[in-house]
Structure 1
Amino acid sequence: MKTTYTTAALLLGLSAAAQEAPATTFADDSTAPRTKYLTEITVVGRNSKSDYQQLPEIVGTSIYAGKKNALIVLDNVQGNVVTNTMRQVLAKVPGIHVWESDASGVQIGIAARGLSPNRSWEFNVRQNGYDIAADPFGYPEAYYNPQLQAVQRIEVVRGQGSLQYGPQFGGMVNYILRNGSEITKPFEFETQQTFGSNRLFNSYNAVGGTSGKVHYYAFFDHRAGDGWRQNSRYLSDAGFGTVTYRLTKQFSLSAELMRSHIRSQQAGGLTDAQFAQNAQQSFRARNWMDITWTNPALTATWQLNENTRWTTKLSATIGDRNSVGFMPGAGIRVADTINKATLAYNNRVLNEDSYRNYVLESRFITDYRLGLMNNTVSFGVRGYTGNTHRLAEGKGTTGSDYDMSLAPGGRYDRDINFGSQNVAAFVENIFRINKKLLLIPGVRYEWLKGDASGRIGYKANGQDSLLQNVSRSRSFVLAGVGAEYHVTPLTEIYASYAQAYRPIQFANLQAPAAINYVVDQELKDSKGYNVDLGYRGKVRNFLQFDVSAFYLQYNNRIGNVTENGVTRVTNVGNSVSQGFEGYVEFNPVRAFTTSTTADLIVFGSYSYLDARYKQQSNKALENKRVENAPQDIFRGGITAGYKGFLITGQVSHVGATFSDANNTEAASANGQVGLIPSYTVTDLSASYKFGKGFTLKAGVNNLADKRYFTRRAGGYPGPGILPADGRTAFVSIGAKF
């Protein structure tokens, strides 16, 4: 199989086998020829200043032909990567809705096409190709996301990606970590130190090297600060190490380990009146969240021949999520004050989750001849087992610092075990009908099982109130088809249709045995499909674009229905999301001059979304707008550069959204329900490369000091309005030796 070096990867590969690639240099990514096949070992694009690329038809053992996708190269992002500012990092991916409610971006919440950004749970979130969410089936919240300084690139795949990666209507987001595979000497040291507003300090340090058949890379990242709001201190430490041993030129083994610890003070929510008075204020000083995440992985890669590649990955997620705080049912309207009877604060509430998940995935890809054309088939299998142990509603101490100790005589009201198992297999094929037309059908088989058992409370006599004996197993097949037609060597029309699903969540399996609250025994997974039709590509080296229309059918949405005094967890109806997503980037310097020292990049991304409830059992919701679904999202900017200097101005506009399915406009007294107004934010950043391996970066987020919010929380970490940050600034210096 022929390998052509192109735009898709920058500088680095995914494995140490990059050292086997022949040295090739291009003046710029945009001038590279079109890719037919790209392995995970590509070294290209050293002089490109663009952070946005398209994924080629094939990367490693994965097929991306015909799919709506984007590749973000972090080294070229002109923005605040240190604080995971996703509106800047994903500015060129149209339609990405970002929740900006965590200090310093310690947790990332993104979505698209009218889906919820809640900890990115509508995406299949991966790191280096393996799952990192709490449980990708029963509880797909991504409590941990890698620090973006440690990320080499981000792959975003919509629609048909569900056939290769499984659940989630939103598609797949894969964070590819730096592994130093471009390092050819025995030892190299990299460091970046950042200082910023609100006592922000970040220190990223890495070492790597190659010696004989062994390649290694490791980093440690520390970040801490006070946060823009009161009571929003945070601390984040992350360490990663990987070693690759090449037994032969064709076969390699890699081992990696990531460990992350985050502790953040939760400032809590605000009412609308409090937000208008002072968005930085906080009425919760005793709320904390603590997250410890460990991800080990072993990968075997075998390049059987020029046309055939096989990978097997064994990975695990060992995570703990703890929270402690004063969280009364009435929300922020209840003040956290000294109890006059005890002369102390009231007891806080404790919640502990432990996640233990193990995954084996094996994938195979090969070329074969059919008629006159060379076709490609990729197939794989997956086995998964996971357990979540949840201790909830414990009686904590009356203290103020992070403390998960039970009060004397205290206990956890809830003690529940959730289990999930999965076996899956997929096959996808590229039929090259001729030199211009590709047809890519695929199919995926899924077997899923989820169960729940344990205590959900105590009865009046003090005995345990046990969970219903709940277990759900099912199997089904998902199918899809994609197509590409190459209009020119660098542009193509693409289209895809793919079925998707969202399994029943753990929360839907824990109804008590009480007669007034039941789980529908016929409860079904949410199913539907994505359709994409677009045109994308490049015009020489000065213009790239991707414009498309989409349609997302989301059936069997799960919700609560109350009838005759009984609340039933059931499938309430369907929703439809449809609209337009477009991105264009233009470089007038390359278009109209021959300058090699100056650069100018102008870009814009825009999405129009019409997301509404359809065919509802609750007719009051018929044709209502889906919550958290802005009609318009626009992000644009200009990057100007001369030699080693770059400066970027960027604007982000997000339309108004509703916080509930009833489309309530008037704000509730507790701030949990109501309209989320539109907002426009401007950011400015600059960088300068000097000497040999030295870089200076600086920037200002929210230059106009706009007051806005992206989320009304119904519970933790609110409840109430969670304000986004006002104006902040940073400066950072980096070096390689």
Structure 2
Amino acid sequence: MRLPLSMAARSLAAALLCTTALPALALDTAVTTATTDSETAEDRAQRATAPSSIIVTAKRDGERLPDQSGTLIFAGKLGDVVQLGNLPPVAGRNLRVAMADIPGIVVSEVSNGSWASLSYRGLGEPHESWNLLTLQDAIPAVPDMYSYPAAYFIPPLELVERVEFIRGASGLLYGPQPGGALNYVMRGPRREAGAEGLVRATLGSWNAGQILGGASVSDGRFAADGFIQFAQGDGPRRDNSDHDQLTGQLRGHILGDDITISLALDYYRGHFGEPGGLARDRYLTDRRGGTTRFDRLRIERLAPTLSVDWQVGDLTQVTARAFYSRFERESWRQAGGGFGQVTPEANVLIRQLQAFDTAGLDIRVRRDFGAAAQHSFTLGVFGHTSDAPVFVDKGSSNNDFVGLGGALARARRSGDAAALFGEVKLTFGDLQIVPGFRLERLRQDVVETLDLAVGSVTGGGPGGQNGVLGNRRNVETVPLFGLGVTWDASETLRFVANASRGFKPLLYNDGVTFQAGIDVADEFASSYAFTIEAGVQAEPVPPLRIDASLFRVTLEDQVGFLGGPLPASAPFGAVGAGGARRQNVGSMRNQGLDLAARLDLIGPQGLAQSQNTLRLSTNLQLLDATFTSGVAQGFTPQYAPGHMLRSILSYIGANGARAALIFTSVGDQQGADNNAADFFLPGYEVLDASVEWPLGSGFSVGAGVNNILDERYAGRVRPGAGGGFDPGMPRNFFLSVGWRG
């Protein structure tokens, strides 16, 4: 059972819920701002010299998609743009706050902040954001966007200008993932001559500390910028919850009249303690406890990128992105652990190293045509390759991080992909029709050369062979398509519809896995999605903007897991309580409503006039999700809450002051596709608040309280050894001091 809030706390939450939801729920149909401003020559010049991002210009206030930008076409698509500058700086990796303006994004909170765990519309387990495409400045920021799209890297949110999200399969121009594309757009480059710098220091609960420094310089033609951030802390759990992270970036830019060339080098290194999952009764009574005192995780990333944005005359634009990344994921986990139980200290460590060398090239061209250049087409090619060996070794003790006990497993993994894609935007007055396609050719190889049993969990060499060595080769040619329609019924009313086909490739660890306590099928099938969405965007009066969309998603052959206990059934063995069986679990049908409203109470267009803005925004997703076939038929998919409501009351001062009060309500969730009781996640409500205030001479001070009501909850549960519930963070505080000049 979930511990109840106090009567006073529940009254506060209910009042905020009613207040923020009222503007949206009082209307029969919901919609968002539409803009029909035509693109000017000045817009084209700005676009040609803009930094690499999915969205280079945006409509009016920068919080809605433009019809087209650079070589990208957004007409006929639904998405969201979060301007993080409208909030106080987001401390640490609080994605619950950073993503609060995106309807339907599930933030499955990881207590030590070691990675992003996100999902959308119930389309699969959110663990490490496998079903989304995560990008930084329009370049994949994952180990392998096809075969291992884990979101281990989160850029410093204080330096993210905005977060862009293209919903569902309508993001097929950026990759095949059915869950959509999420892009972190960094600030810069500086375009006017001069120099500026920034420094920010943050202190918080559990000895958290963070220092960020950055600088940029430009003479108007050449520019350079960079930053470095170091963060550390003990974490919310009493044992083995510490972390330290180092993030840095250097960029150089050539800023021509018609061309921008940017070269960037990103580096990230993170060390994390992994305190382990808790049994349900324990996280409700002792959420700061742990079960794995010696488990550790190291993530390291080095990523150089080259971006070119070229305006070729008035009608043609070209973009090119070349990227490489070296990801290393190294973990140390004690052998012989159990679901939600304390692992005996004597158990030895198992070291696993996954290394990813990935490279890619993305070239696109957009050409406008027609009597008034009102039509456009875009065509692009994409190439991608990766090499990702795995090394698993057994330690001789609980502090042997080398693996002196002997080799347990070795696997060679590699993949190549090539894609051809394009769209045509046909404009007939107020109507735009946008057909598009993507053709994928994908090859994946996974070959196990060694796979031995752990043997004794307290010492000694590895045991005997685990069985037949895994050997999987997958070659697929996949045609995908999309069709979008936009109709501007008036200056303040727009209708948008989209139908798109998406594709979830097999992962490297489908069929050849190294996770203890998980029984895995020998064969897996890729998953295919089809999404239909229709929405309205409107601005009934200047202070009020409303969005609404109805959606229906079908996903065939979803790869998920069934929670134990499960009896033996060929080719599987029996699975005990807390364990899981990973396989294709069936086809799902998810449908629902996305609703969002924004009301400027005070401000330039608000109900009351002021240079400052007091804004109330809310978004709601209602979701009905179920498996329609397969072994999970009739069950609710993992992480598909019936409702998600977020409300933000924000103050945006003309002098740079910012304040925000954010309310989050998430409905009940299932943590296993067969709805096993041991994995059930009760709904919860969380309230966060933060403020930043300028002091003059470029200095500012900030503060915040997360989980003000100290709600006891968990938004994440993992099966197998070391698994269990990952409790949400208790009430915590932070204080920051910054300077920009």
Deviations 1:477-506 (A, max 9, x none): 111100111122243110000000101121
CA contact (8 A) 2:385 2:417 kept: yes
Structure 1: stretches of 5+ with no match in the other structure: 1-29, 338-344, 666-672
The equivalent of 1:628 in structure 2 is 639
Structure 2 counterpart of 1:421, one-letter code:
D
The equivalent of 1:493 in structure 2 is 495
Q: Judging changes above 3 Å, is the alpha-carbon distance between structure 1 residues 458 and 278 closer, same or farther for their aligned structure 2 residues?
A: closer
The equivalent of 1:68 in structure 2 is 78
Q: Judging changes above 3 Å, is the alpha-carbon distance between structure 1 residues 437 and 373 closer, same or farther for their aligned structure 2 residues?
A: farther
Deviations 1:543-570 (A, max 9, x none): 2221111111100223689986323986
What is the 5 A alignment of 1:81-96? 81-96=90-105
What is the 5 A alignment of 1:93-112? 93-103=102-112, 105-112=113-120
Q: Secondary structure at the match of 1:274?
A: helix
Deviations 1:10-48 (A, max 9, x none): xxxxxxxxxxxxxxxxxxxx99973547526469xxxx9
Q: CA deviation at 1:592?
A: 5.9
Q: CA deviation at 1:541?
A: 4.0
Deviations 1:363-388 (A, max 9, x none): 11121016x66101111000111011
What is the rounded CA distance, in whole Å, between the counterparts of 2:638 and 2:464 in structure 1?
A: 40
What is the rounded CA distance, in whole Å, between the counterparts of 1:657 and 1:559 in structure 2?
A: 15
Q: Secondary structure at the match of 2:532?
A: strand
What is the rounded CA distance, in whole Å, between the counterparts of 1:708 and 1:560 in structure 2?
A: 23
Deviations 1:114-144 (A, max 9, x none): 0222111111111111112121111221112
The equivalent of 2:458 in structure 1 is none
What is the rounded CA distance, in whole Å, between the counterparts of 2:692 and 2:466 in structure 1?
A: 61
CA contact (8 A) 2:361 2:384 kept: yes
Q: CA deviation at 1:390?
A: 0.9
Q: Secondary structure at the match of 2:277?
A: coil
What is the rounded CA distance, in whole Å, between the counterparts of 2:510 and 2:268 in structure 1?
A: 29
Among residues 695, 701, 717, which one is paired with 1:696 in the alignment?
701
The equivalent of 1:396 in structure 2 is 395
What is the rounded CA distance, in whole Å, between the counterparts of 1:658 and 1:560 in structure 2?
A: 12
Q: Judging changes above 3 Å, is the alpha-carbon distance between structure 1 residues 511 and 631 closer, same or farther for their aligned structure 2 residues?
A: closer
Alignment of 1:167 with 2:162, yes or no, is no
Q: Judging changes above 3 Å, is the alpha-carbon distance between structure 1 residues 585 and 122 closer, same or farther for their aligned structure 2 residues?
A: same
Structure 2: stretches of 5+ with no match in the other structure: 1-32, 52-57, 454-461, 573-580
Q: Secondary structure at the match of 1:119?
A: helix
Q: CA deviation at 1:261?
A: 0.4
CA contact (8 A) 2:48 2:310 kept: no
Q: CA deviation at 1:509?
A: 4.1
Structure 2 counterpart of 1:96, one-letter code:
I
What is the rounded CA distance, in whole Å, between the counterparts of 1:461 and 1:653 in structure 2?
A: 48
Q: Judging changes above 3 Å, is the alpha-carbon distance between structure 1 residues 663 and 313 closer, same or farther for their aligned structure 2 residues?
A: same
CA contact (8 A) 2:643 2:666 kept: yes
Alignment of 1:682 with 2:683, yes or no, is no
The equivalent of 1:269 in structure 2 is 277
Question: How many matched pairs?
Answer: 670
What is the rounded CA distance, in whole Å, between the counterparts of 1:601 and 1:177 in structure 2?
A: 24
Q: CA deviation at 1:696?
A: 2.2
Structure 1 stretch displaced more, 722-731 or 81-90: 81-90
CA contact (8 A) 2:48 2:258 kept: no
CA contact (8 A) 1:456 1:466 kept: no
What is the rounded CA distance, in whole Å, between the counterparts of 2:665 and 2:61 in structure 1?
A: 20
Q: Judging changes above 3 Å, is the alpha-carbon distance between structure 1 residues 461 and 573 closer, same or farther for their aligned structure 2 residues?
A: closer
The equivalent of 1:578 in structure 2 is 591
CA contact (8 A) 1:52 1:70 kept: no
Q: Judging changes above 3 Å, is the alpha-carbon distance between structure 1 residues 519 and 398 closer, same or farther for their aligned structure 2 residues?
A: closer
Seq. identity, %: 24
Alignment of 1:431 with 2:431, yes or no, is no
The equivalent of 1:295 in structure 2 is 303
CA contact (8 A) 1:179 1:216 kept: no
What is the 5 A alignment of 1:360-375? 360-369=361-370, 374-375=374-375
Q: Judging changes above 3 Å, is the alpha-carbon distance between structure 1 residues 642 and 153 closer, same or farther for their aligned structure 2 residues?
A: closer
Among residues 55, 64, 80, which one is paired with 1:54 in the alignment?
64
Q: CA deviation at 1:697?
A: 1.8
The equivalent of 2:522 in structure 1 is 519
Structure 1 counterpart of 2:64, one-letter code:
Q
Q: CA deviation at 1:213?
A: 2.7
The equivalent of 1:604 in structure 2 is 618
The equivalent of 2:729 in structure 1 is 725
What is the rounded CA distance, in whole Å, between the counterparts of 2:201 and 2:520 in structure 1?
A: 53
Q: Judging changes above 3 Å, is the alpha-carbon distance between structure 1 residues 250 and 642 closer, same or farther for their aligned structure 2 residues?
A: closer
Q: Secondary structure at the match of 1:601?
A: strand
The equivalent of 1:326 in structure 2 is 334
What is the rounded CA distance, in whole Å, between the counterparts of 2:194 and 2:273 in structure 1?
A: 42
What is the rounded CA distance, in whole Å, between the counterparts of 1:204 and 1:359 in structure 2?
A: 30
Alignment of 1:664 with 2:673, yes or no, is no
Q: Judging changes above 3 Å, is the alpha-carbon distance between structure 1 residues 168 and 32 closer, same or farther for their aligned structure 2 residues?
A: closer
What is the 5 A alignment of 1:147-166? 147-166=156-175
What is the rounded CA distance, in whole Å, between the counterparts of 2:213 and 2:83 in structure 1?
A: 20
CA contact (8 A) 2:86 2:658 kept: no
Q: Judging changes above 3 Å, is the alpha-carbon distance between structure 1 residues 326 and 399 closer, same or farther for their aligned structure 2 residues?
A: closer
Q: Judging changes above 3 Å, is the alpha-carbon distance between structure 1 residues 537 and 659 closer, same or farther for their aligned structure 2 residues?
A: same
CA contact (8 A) 1:35 1:57 kept: no
Among residues 575, 582, 602, which one is paired with 1:589 in the alignment?
602
Structure 1 counterpart of 2:420, one-letter code:
A
Q: Secondary structure at the match of 1:275?
A: helix
CA contact (8 A) 1:160 1:481 kept: no
Q: CA deviation at 1:219?
A: 0.3
What is the rounded CA distance, in whole Å, between the counterparts of 1:569 and 1:721 in structure 2?
A: 19
Q: CA deviation at 1:233?
A: 0.6
Q: TM-score, normalised by structure 1?
A: 0.86
CA contact (8 A) 1:511 1:519 kept: no
What is the 5 A alignment of 1:343-382? 345-369=346-370, 374-382=374-382
Q: CA deviation at 1:640?
A: 3.7
What is the rounded CA distance, in whole Å, between the counterparts of 1:399 and 1:564 in structure 2?
A: 35
Moved over 6 A (4+): 30-33, 459-466, 560-563
CA contact (8 A) 1:51 1:72 kept: no
Q: CA deviation at 1:622?
A: 2.0
Among residues 440, 448, 463, which one is paired with 2:434 in the alignment?
440
Q: CA deviation at 1:300?
A: 2.2
CA contact (8 A) 2:111 2:727 kept: no
The equivalent of 1:235 in structure 2 is 244
CA contact (8 A) 1:65 1:482 kept: yes
What is the rounded CA distance, in whole Å, between the counterparts of 2:503 and 2:652 in structure 1?
A: 45
Alignment of 1:128 with 2:125, yes or no, is no
What is the rounded CA distance, in whole Å, between the counterparts of 2:526 and 2:241 in structure 1?
A: 37
CA contact (8 A) 2:87 2:650 kept: no
Q: Judging changes above 3 Å, is the alpha-carbon distance between structure 1 residues 489 and 259 closer, same or farther for their aligned structure 2 residues?
A: same
Q: Judging changes above 3 Å, is the alpha-carbon distance between structure 1 residues 253 and 466 closer, same or farther for their aligned structure 2 residues?
A: farther
Higher relative contact order (CA closer than 8 Å, sequence separation 6+): 2
What is the rounded CA distance, in whole Å, between the counterparts of 1:252 and 1:479 in structure 2?
A: 31
CA contact (8 A) 1:36 1:57 kept: no
Q: CA deviation at 1:106?
A: 3.6
The equivalent of 2:402 in structure 1 is 405
Among residues 167, 172, 186, which one is paired with 1:177 in the alignment?
186
What is the Cα-based RMSD across aligned positions, in Å? 2.8
Q: Judging changes above 3 Å, is the alpha-carbon distance between structure 1 residues 277 and 463 closer, same or farther for their aligned structure 2 residues?
A: closer
Deviations 1:625-684 (A, max 9, x none): 11111110001122245654443222100001111122223xxxxxxx331011000111
CA contact (8 A) 1:455 1:464 kept: no
Q: CA deviation at 1:532?
A: 1.0
CA contact (8 A) 1:99 1:109 kept: yes
The equivalent of 1:113 in structure 2 is 121
Q: Secondary structure at the match of 2:172?
A: helix
Q: CA deviation at 1:102?
A: 3.0
